[in-house]
Amino acid sequence: MEVRWLEDFLALARTRHFSRAAELQHVSQPTFSRRIKLLEEAMGTTLVNRQSLPLSLTPAGEVFRELCERITRDVRDTRDRIAALEAEASARISVGSTQGLFSHFYQGWAREVGIAERLQLNLKATSWVGEQFLEALESGECDLVLCYWHPDLPWGGRLTADNFEWLVVAREALVPVSIADEQGLPRFPLPGNPEQPVPLIAYHNRGFLQSAIEGHLGRQKLSANLLPLNENTQSASIKALVKQGFGMGWLPQRMTEKSEQFGSLVRAGDERWDVPLEIRLIRQRDARSDDLLNLWKQLED
């Protein structure tokens, strides 16, 4: 049974005439009559008394009309609500964020600055890597990107003032962590030595963070003896492996705070090994909507 059959029946109940009801429903009379017959077969009873002029509804037809009115009203109201929800969703500004920032920064920051209701997270972004975020801005797949940034990104030259605008919304540090031994000391401390290198759960070089670590160690002239065991694009994956005792790794400080509080992770090196980062919000210079420009101005102010 189709909703349009119910609408057909209501049109017939109002006009009491097959031809006029067919005109109202914008179908031929044979098609309209066939639909009413199918409706009666589906209900297993005669709904229309065709022997009277004008035609009338049978007692079953009168009961059925009440049902049709309720169903079509509910369908109409539901369509209106869905349309309103879709309009609201389309008015939201699409944001691409790394998985780590979404889990430990995005939601609290958006609420704090009062823009959470105006944003819609693009869930596909949590699987993007590195410069795919800028490509998503250029293609229109999202309006804003929230990501880590540092001067050692190999593709950082793509972020130019000619094409993009950005705001530094927070600062972060990558902190070297390890599980603790029985004395509460790191099981895998930096810097290690050539005979016993430190097992490392590393970031993939296509992401945002591995080049930041390498650049920082080079500038600070910190020499570490590391044995990379695994590469990941997501901080959460690195944290899971570090917590299971496979090695040490660098994690955003926001991801370590709760773990350090409960003693499950400890520093694997002092503050010299901390890698400074920016958290940037980026958009294309040519904004696609006034809503985006208004939100950007709010954030700048």
Residue 1: name the closest of 57, 64, 51, 48 by CA.
Answer: 64
Same domain for 106 and 156, yes or no, is yes
Q: Is residue 292 part of a domain?
A: no
Residue 138 token pair = 């250029």
Residues 33 and 122 in one domain: no
Q: What is the mean pLDDT of residues 42-55?
A: 90
In a domain, 301, yes or no: no
Same domain, yes or no: 50 and 131: no
Residues 80 and 197 in one domain: no
Considering the domain architecture, whether residues 146 and 72 belong to the same structural domain is answered as no
| Domain's final residue, options 89, 108, 134 | 89
Q: CA angle at residue 135 from 129 to 140, to 5 degrees?
A: 125
pLDDT of residue 90: 52
Domain around 205: 93-284
Tallying the residues shown for the chain, one arrives at 301
Which amino acid, one-letter code, is at 29? Q
Beta bridge pairs of residue 266: 178
pLDDT for residue 213: 95
Q: What is the pLDDT of residue 262?
A: 46
Q: Residue 219 falls within a domain, yes or no?
A: yes
Whether residues 259 and 137 fall in one domain:
yes
Q: Round to whole Å and give the CA distance between 288 and 238.
A: 36
Looking at the fold, whether 121 and 219 belong to one and the same domain comes out as yes
Answer with the one of 89, 121, 140 that is the final residue of a domain: 89
Residue 130, sorted as left (phi over 0), alpha (psi -120 to 50) or beta, turns out to be left
Q: What is the pLDDT of residues 258-300, one digit of tens each?
A: 655 545 789 999 999 999 999 999 999 987 788 888 899 999 8
Residue 289 in domain: no
On whether both 137 and 255 belong to a single domain, the answer is yes
| 222 within a domain of the structure (yes/no) | yes
Q: Is the pLDDT at 203 greater than 90, yes or no?
A: yes
pLDDT at residue 206, as a whole number: 85
Structural domain includes residue 256: yes
What pLDDT, in 10s, does the model give residues 62-111?
999 999 999 989 988 888 787 666 655 555 789 999 988 988 899 999 99
Looking at the structure, do residues 143 and 109 belong to the same domain, yes or no? yes
pLDDT in tens, 113-172: 999 888 888 888 888 888 999 999 999 899 999 999 999 998 888 889 889 999 999 999
Structure tokens at 170: 């927070």
CA angle 106, 111, 114 (to 5 degrees): 125
Q: Are 139 and 70 contained in the same domain?
A: no
The pLDDT score that the predictor gives to residue 91 is 53
* Same domain, yes or no: 97 and 148: yes
Residue 217 pLDDT more than 90?
yes
Do 109 and 252 have their domain in common?
yes
pLDDT of residue 264: 76
Per-residue confidence (pLDDT) for residue 13, from 0 to 100: 93
pLDDT recorded at residue 140: 87
Q: Give the residue-averaged pLDDT of 40-53.
A: 90
Which domain CATH number covers 277? 3.40.190.290
pLDDT tens for residues 171-201? 999 999 999 998 989 999 999 999 999 999 9
3-state SS of the chain: helix, strand, coil percent to 5? 50, 20, 30
The SS3 of residue 118 is: helix
**Domain membership flag for residue 291:** no
